[in-house]
A and B are shown apart, each in its own frame.
Chain A
Amino acid sequence: MAVKWIGDAAQELGITPLDAVEILASRQEYPMNGLVDEDRFKTLRLMRGGKRLETSGSQAMPLPDRHVSPMTVPVVAPAPSAPSRVTRQPDAHPSPRACSRRRSPRPPPPVHVIPAPPPIRPPVGEATSVTAPLQTIPGREGERTVILPPVDPKH
Chain B
Amino acid sequence: MGLLKDFLRIEADRRGALAALRLEAQSRRLQIDEIGAEAKRKRDEVAMIEEGLRRLAEDIARTEEQLLEIESRRDDHDREAHERKIEAVRSSLEYDRADGHRISEDFRRLRSAFESERARLLAEADTGRMMDNFFQIEAFLKDTGTPIPDAARKALVKERQDLMGRIGPLVAPPPAPEGVFKATVVYTALEEGEPAAIVAVGLPDEAEPSGAHDLPALLLYGSYASVVEKIGPGVPRPRREEGVVIYEQPAGSRATDEAALDLFLAVKAGLEKAASAAGVPCELTGVFLEPEIASAVFPRGGQARRF
Contacts and interface: CB of A to CB of B under 8 A. Distances in A.
Contacts, number: 107
B210 A32 contact: no
B210 A17 contact: yes
A18 B270 contact: no
Interface string B210-250: 11101001100110111011101110010000000000000
Nearest to A33: B277
Contacts of A16: 307
Contact of B281 (A30, A144, A149): A144
B269 interface: yes
A11 B217 CA distance: 14
A152 interface: yes
Interface residues of B, number: 37
Contact of A128 (B214, B229, B233, B234): B229
A147 B277 contact: yes
A130 B210 contact: no
Nearest to A147: B277
A7 B214 CA distance: 10
Nearest to A16: B307
B307 A32 contact: no
A30 B218 contact: no
A77 interface: no
Contacts of B212: 5, 34-35
B278 interface: yes
A128 B229 CA distance: 10
Given A7-B217, A33-B278, A28 B229 contact: yes
The residue in A55, A130, A141 that gathers the most chain B C-beta atoms within 10 A of its C-beta is A130
A22 interface: yes
B228 A34 contact: no
The residue in B123, B211, B221, B237 that gathers the most chain A C-beta atoms within 10 A of its C-beta is B221
A56 interface: yes
Interface residues of A, number: 38
Contacts of B93: none
A33 B273 CA distance: 9
A25 B233 CA distance: 8
A134 B276 contact: yes
A25 B224 contact: yes
B273 A134 contact: yes
Given A32-B273, A130-B226, A147-B277, A17 B234 contact: no
A88 B93 CA distance: 74
Contacts of A54: 233
B84 to A, nearest CB: 35
B173 interface: yes
A15 interface: no
Interface of A: 5-8, 11, 16-18, 21-22, 24-26, 28, 30-35, 54-56, 128-130, 134, 137, 141, 144-149, 151-152, 155
10 contacts: A8-B209, A21-B224, A22-B233, A25-B226, A30-B221, A33-B218, A34-B217, A144-B176, A145-B276, A146-B279
